[in-house]
Amino acid sequence: MYVLAAYLLWGLLGLYWNQLHPVNEFEVMAHRILWGFVVIVVIVYVIPSKRMILNTFIKGVHTNKRELARLFVASIAISTNWFVFIYAMMNGAAIEASLGLYITPLVSILLGVIFFHDRLNRRLVMAIALALLGVVVMTYELGVIPFIAILLALTSGVYGLAKKKVKLDSVVGMTVETMISTPVAIGILVFFYTKDALVFGSSLQVSLKLVLAGILTVLPLLWFSKGVQMVTLTTIGFFQYITPTIVFLLGVFVFQSTVMFMEWLAFGLIWSSLLLYSLTLKKWKLS
């Protein structure tokens, strides 16, 4: 239930970001980071064990430079991922965003092969090939490289890659990640304020939505961190299709995006690759 709730909320957040249309994407992103940081810090300091781990890490940060470097990479990757997704949902690119979310597992596998020398069987090779072909077809249809899809998949993959090596407690690690990106978020808000373009504070309803963005960012991450400890890799593998499917359905039925024949062909290739990937999950072990 924890994992299911996390993936459902991640998908439905696309609808939430779309409702913040009057606000600039950078301001939405800045508030998501800032208020997310506030929420996670409160949670960490309410739980004594987490507070002690965070304080110990901060005090000994000069001896944990590698761990900090990994968290720095993770922070950049997840912040970029959040911004790209927000931009896509606020600018009518839900279909392309769902494509990126669908190919994320396969990109993660490819990164695992490159950096951890994970072994591939024939099914996984074919799955990755089909996914790449799907991206090529989508590129042909759009006339340009689907940067939103590629960025979403790559940043998710890099985030997973960085987190794989992080030994710090997951909730405390999340706190450090948002701590790293918070100064940038504050800088963005100050910039908008100096340009008299800051929307926050101009409307109570919009301001509350921006604050709520922080809670909605942290909540599914906490659910996922809790649930992932209780279920198998196979279960996670199947559940991760929930988010891109919701985003795809939002694009078609809510945002009224037109899906052309070649786009359907591209998604058909992607879905076929994911079927192969799913059939392989039980036989393929991540290192």
Tokens 């991540």: give the residue.
286
Distance separating the N- and C-terminal Cα atoms of the chain = 26
pLDDT of residue 281: 64
- Residue 240 clears pLDDT 90, i.e. is over it: no
pLDDT digits (tens, 9 = 90+) for 2-50: 889 999 999 999 999 999 988 999 999 999 999 999 999 999 999 999 9
Query: Within 13 A of 131's CA, how many CA atoms are on the CB side?
Result: 26
Closest to 82 measured CA to CA, from 150, 146, 33: 33
Type of residue found at 207: S
Distance from C-alpha of 120 to C-alpha of 196, rounded to nearest angstrom? 54
> Which of 77-91, 101-115, 146-160, 271-285 has the least mean pLDDT?
271-285
The reported pLDDT for the residue numbered 282 is: 54
- Residue 203's DSSP bridge partners are 200
Q: Which of the four pLDDT bands, split at 50, 70 and 90, describes residue 252? A: very high
Mean pLDDT of 208-221: 94
